[in-house]
Amino acid sequence: MNAGMAILLTAVPEGRVFGLDQQALIGIGIQLFNAALLAAVLSYLLYKPVRKFLKSRTERIIAQMGRAEDEIVKAGELKAQYEQKLEGIEEERAAILEEAHRLAAEKGRRIVSDAQKDAAEARERVLADMRIERERAQEEMRLQIIEVASIMAEKLVAQAMDAETQDRLFAETMAELEGAAWQD
């Protein structure tokens, strides 16, 4: 390594760290020319596509921002509509509840009225059945009385009654039975 340094030191004139001679200046000039040429070629080849790409990206971003602003405006409008609907819903709920209470009360009155009518009809049927049963019982009692009377009459007749007495007793019994008024 010391040998390599020794060679470099011998190539550089004494007292100088960096040799600025004609060959170094030509090398620097060529490198500058190459860099300028490379920059020109690259800018010619890449400047328009990169600029076009950046322009289209900028346009896309602007368009997205515009759409986002439109969406924000629409969202604000929808929010306002929903808030209006929520206010309307409270009023509608109160109206529906009031209507439901009214219908329930009306239905309750109808049910009570129908129940009263049914009870009255059932009472009338029971009273009619009781009247029919009382009339049937009275008719049965009348028939039993007639039967008992006829049995008594047979017994009396059997004890040697003459025909004239029999006819008189029969007529009296029939008159009593026909004249008897049944109490309700």
Distance, CA of 110 to CA of 113 (rounded, Å):
5
Q: What is the pLDDT of residues 55-109, one digit of tens each?
A: 999 999 999 999 999 999 999 999 988 888 888 788 888 888 899 989 999 998 9
Q: Count the neighbouring beta carbons within 10 Å of the beta carbon of residue 145.
A: 14
The helix or strand, by DSSP H or E, that contains position 154, with its residue range, turns out to be helix 22-158
Q: What per-residue confidence (pLDDT) applies to 3?
A: 61
Look up the pTM and report it: 0.34
Residue appearing with tokens 């219908």:
103
Count of residues for the chain?
184
Q: What is the pLDDT of residues 110-122, one digit of tens each?
A: 998 998 998 899 8
